[in-house]
A and B are shown apart, each in its own frame.
Chain A
Amino acid sequence: MTNTTTPQGVQTVIKLADLMKPPAPKPERFVLSDEERHEIEHELTHYPDSRAASIEALKIVQKHRGWVSDEAIPVIADMVSISAADLEGVATFYNLIFRQPVGRHVIKVCDSISCHLTGYDELRDALIQQLGVKLGGTTPDMRFTLLPICCLGACDRGACLMIDDDLHGPIEPAQVKAMLEAYQ
């Protein structure tokens, strides 16, 4: 999520010495843990067609690792008997499947109409200010990722948000700092 931007105008110089170096080691082969494999196999029993377990399988890997890496895709695809490209299409469709590393805690702040009417703008600004990241960003210490999300179905508690599995609302901007303290 953190972008390392290269200053504009800096030229990349290819040095002969760099070309002589041995190639960087390949990333370690992705292996599902026994626990992940066992949980996915259990999900497979819920459907007459294995690909129906795709989304659950992605969620299982994400539960254990925080996100779903490119390397994980072919391995999960094998388990649900579809191609990696097919699973990639599924994995990139759903906003609750994270394809980049996220912080230890994921904040999902509702930006739909009821929360818009009850203080979303102020809540979002307070979060951005407190965390020092924009929507979609992760704090450098990997503690928080801040994401917008559509209606959380808690409109009577707007403006609301979720942190990990916990629903909070209504939240006033002044309460943001104390609320975040509970998530280290």
Chain B
Amino acid sequence: MSLRSAADPQYQRPLTRLIDRAAGPLDRAGFEAENGYAGLKQSIKELTPQQVQAVVKDANLRGRGGAGFPAGVKWSLVPMGPDAGEKYLVCNADEMEPGTFKDRLLMEQAPHQLIESMILVGYAMQATRGYIFLRGEYIVAADRLNAALKEARAAGYVGKNVLGGEWSFELFVHTGAGRYICGEETALINSLEGRRANPRAKPPFPQIAGLWGRPTVVNNVETLMNVPHIVLNGADWFKNLSQGKSKDSGTKMYGCSGRANKTGTWELPIGTTARELLEVHAGGMRDGKKLKAWLPGGASTDFLLPEHLDLAMDFDTIAKAGSRMGTGLIAVVAEDQSIVSAVRNLEEFFARESCGWCTPCRDGLPWSVKILRAFENGQGQVEDIEVLSKLTKWLGPGKTFCAHAPGAMEPLQSALKYFRHEFENGLAKLPAEAA
């Protein structure tokens, strides 16, 4: 039987090397035959939790959920030592950022890899329990993760005295019941506690007082799934995965959606250009249309233009261009598609998904939708462009309780910057003009 990892002899695709969509996910035996759970075993037998943390920090693994915060730094705030008490690790598997479909693939096709990663990171922070917070609509992922977890428990990877050592760890799959805001880490914690998913004030940060008031780390699926490979292959190996395309480390799950020929998600060196994503992997725009604009990584990122396609898709480069890499899955808008309609769609989403906790977000987002609808229907008023512009400030960073509304303002502010003429085309005609 040939090993799946043989398709990646140089170990350049740690996240997807064991994925074979036609054959489906590996069971425990198959996964172990591919060196699965080896990173966990090595950590528990040979490394202290601090050593695991150190190698991940050294590797500069940045959070793949969208914010790019270094995972090692996040973990370093967690109190360690024998008196630290109950601590929790939570996997943010609430993938709901519009345009993002990478964690679905990873969880459906490599469930054991996530289970191993959870246990390993649990060990690194000496967590007592872990929860995978999975969005309710991911039915297949839930089944496969639960099946993998059952196998892992039976094999002694989860439960009392993991692999016969001192440390014990319980792990559960928790499925949600909707609402985008659950992806915000403190809202996620409230939801996991069985409450309404309103975000919490920070500080205190979850690493100090999170789930049930205890130190808690929340990491994205893709972030976690890199960890066993970093432990096995070292920090330098991870840094070199970017093949000099970026000063960030590792690979990234990239993707493309919208009217492109071959939409999908691919693991590539971090720093791969958006042009390569669109033109090589996605086979270019459908029907020979030209690209008008693109979102680099989800609904809450600023639009960029065709002239930005050659930028490296990494956290700092895309930030310098005035946007955010976000989740790294681009959404492309074709030349004959309306930016005003696209922004109206985005703001409608954010308005509906606002948790309603703070006024600027709860009332400001529906206001923007109302105005955008007017422009879409050719009923915009001149002053409304100014109002939209002001909303991007009033709902911007620091003006609201969490990052939901500021995220919502990113596509709007960039649409106003690059496509003002499309808004002007949506102004109501004066009676003389109409006649």
A residues at B contact (CB < 8 Å): 46-49, 51-56, 58-59, 80, 82, 89-90, 93-97, 108, 111-114, 116-118, 149-158, 162, 165
Evaluate contact between B191 and A55: CB separation under 8 angstroms.
Answer: yes
The complex places the Cα of A154 from the Cα of B105 at a distance, in Å, of 9
Say whether, besides A51-B194, A95-B178, A116-B342, A153 and B257 are in contact (CB < 8 Å). no
Nearest to A116 among chain B residues (CB) is B345
What is the number of residues of chain B that contact chain A, defined by CB distance less than 8 Å?
Answer: 56
Residues of A near B177 (CB, < 8 A) are 55, 58-59, 94-97
Residues of A near B196 (CB, < 8 A) are 89-90, 93
The complex places the Cα of A96 from the Cα of B197 at a distance, in Å, of 13
Residues of A near B332 (CB, < 8 A) are 117
Evaluate contact between A151 and B174: CB separation under 8 angstroms.
Answer: no
Evaluate contact between A150 and B349: CB separation under 8 angstroms.
Answer: yes
Enumerate B327-360 residues with CB–CB distance to A below 8 Å: 329, 331-334, 337, 341-342, 345-346, 348-349, 352-353, 355
B14-22, B29-37, B63-71, B259-267: which lies at the interface = B259-267
Residues of A near B193 (CB, < 8 A) are 49, 51-52
Evaluate contact between A117 and B257: CB separation under 8 angstroms.
Answer: yes
The complex places the Cα of A82 from the Cα of B349 at a distance, in Å, of 32
Say whether, besides A51-B194, A93-B196, A156-B257, A151 and B345 are in contact (CB < 8 Å). no
Residues of A near B212 (CB, < 8 A) are 48-49
The complex places the Cα of A150 from the Cα of B345 at a distance, in Å, of 11
Evaluate contact between B96 and A93: CB separation under 8 angstroms.
Answer: no
B50-58, B75-83, B136-144, B160-168: which lies at the interface = B136-144
Nearest to A121 among chain B residues (CB) is B341
- Given A117-B334, A150-B349, A151-B299, 5 other A-B residues pairs in contact with their CB atoms under 8 A: A58-B177, A112-B345, A117-B259, A153-B104, A155-B100
Evaluate contact between B257 and A158: CB separation under 8 angstroms.
Answer: yes
Say whether, besides A58-B177, A155-B331, A156-B264, A114 and B258 are in contact (CB < 8 Å). yes
Say whether, besides A52-B194, A53-B194, A150-B98, A117 and B178 are in contact (CB < 8 Å). no
> B248-284: contact bitstring with A at CB < 8 Å (1 yes, 0 no)?
0000000111110001110000000000000000000
Q: Is B176 an interface residue (CB 8 A)?
A: yes
Nearest to A58 among chain B residues (CB) is B177
The complex places the Cα of A23 from the Cα of B352 at a distance, in Å, of 41
Q: Which of B175, B257, B353, B355 sits near A155, CB closer than 8 Å?
A: B257
Evaluate contact between B194 and A90: CB separation under 8 angstroms.
Answer: yes
A168 to chain B, nearest CB (A): 13
Q: Is B179 an interface residue (CB 8 A)?
A: yes
Evaluate contact between B96 and A153: CB separation under 8 angstroms.
Answer: yes
The complex places the Cα of A25 from the Cα of B51 at a distance, in Å, of 68
Residues of A near B265 (CB, < 8 A) are 156
The complex places the Cα of A165 from the Cα of B80 at a distance, in Å, of 42
Nearest to B143 among chain A residues (CB) is A165
4 closest A-B pairs by CB: A155-B257, A54-B194, A94-B177, A112-B98
Residues of A near B299 (CB, < 8 A) are 112-113, 151
B244 to chain A, nearest CB (A): 29
B342 to chain A, nearest CB (A): 7
Residues of A near B191 (CB, < 8 A) are 55
The complex places the Cα of A113 from the Cα of B348 at a distance, in Å, of 10
Nearest to A45 among chain B residues (CB) is B172
